[in-house]
Amino acid sequence: MGPKKMLFALDAFSGPLFGGILIALALVFMIQGHRKIKLLTFFMGAAVGFQGSNMIFPYVTEFLPGWTPEEFLFVSSFISGVVLLLLIGVASKLITIFISLQLMLFIVGNLENRGIDIGNQFAGGLMVIFAFIVNRFMRKNLYLIGSAGLGSLMGISGFLIFSGEVPSQMELTQGTNGLIFFALFINSILMQKVDQRKHDAVKEQMTFEKEHHAETDVHGRGRVMDQDILTTAYHSERLERRSSYEDYLY
């Protein structure tokens, strides 16, 4: 199946229903994507495999003798979900790199238009420091930024498809759509940061209640002995080495 046939097959699914589904998924990605991006990615991959199995099955029947369409549907849906789940980390990193590069090019272009020479040592040093800070922030918030980017793209795509456009004719990052994507992306990061703080507060409260219950339990259930000084120092050293190793990798 050639690329043109794949595009026509994808265009066949366009319509208000498909656009509405994309908008609903985009809202979940943009609000709580940092917590549910892996689960949503698996279901998205399974949906792609479910829709594509009917198109692919006639071309692979000779390689899979004895397989029924229902069996191929189940296997292709599961494999597609697993593959997309394994690639979500790579996809998030690629989106992060793309956003970082676009941001740097935008800043450099505006500075050059104002007559500032980026080639001199002072301005170049500032740009290097700024790029380091931006990349550091993006690495620490990889899934948050990745889900914000995916959710923004899905939101624009869903709205355009809902309005009657077909996927093969959409321009997602040009003109007004590019500005809408940037606005959705920033709002998604802000909303997910709020959700992240609430989620962390709930986890801390649950941990505190569990520890308090263990300490106040009359029979000592859930209570553990305190570690001695040597054990505490050993675990602290291991954590420091692991943190240094992760910083070296990233």
pLDDT number for residue 1 = 43
What integer pLDDT is reported at residue 249 of this predicted model?
47
- Model confidence at 119: pLDDT above 70: no
Structure tokens at 55: 């198109």
pLDDT at 4 over 50: no
pLDDT band at 2 (very low <50, low <70, confident <90, very high): very low
Q: Quickly state the pLDDT bin for 208 (edges 50, 70, 90).
A: confident
Q: How far apart are CA 192 and CA 38, in angstroms?
A: 15
DSSP assignment string, 131-199: HHHHHHHHHHTHHHHHHHHHHHHHHHHHHHHHTT--GGG--SSSTHHHHHHHHHHHHHHHHHHHHHHHH
- The pLDDT of residue 3: 39
pTM metric for this prediction: 0.54
* 163 vs 165: CA distance, rounded Å: 6
Q: Is the pLDDT of residue 111 over 50?
A: yes
Query: Is the model's pLDDT at 28 over the cut of 80?
Result: yes
Q: Is the pLDDT of residue 227 over 80?
A: no
User: How much is the mean pLDDT over the chain?
Assistant: 73
Torsion region of 183: left, alpha or beta (phi above 0 gives left; psi -120 to 50 gives alpha): alpha
Name 221's Cβ contacts closer than 8 Å, sequence gap at least 6. Answer: 214
Q: Contact 101/150 with Cβ under 8 angstroms?
A: no
Contact 14, 161 (CB under 8 A): yes
Nearest to 20 by CA among 148, 154, 180, 152: 154
Q: CB count, 10 Å around CB of 161?
A: 24
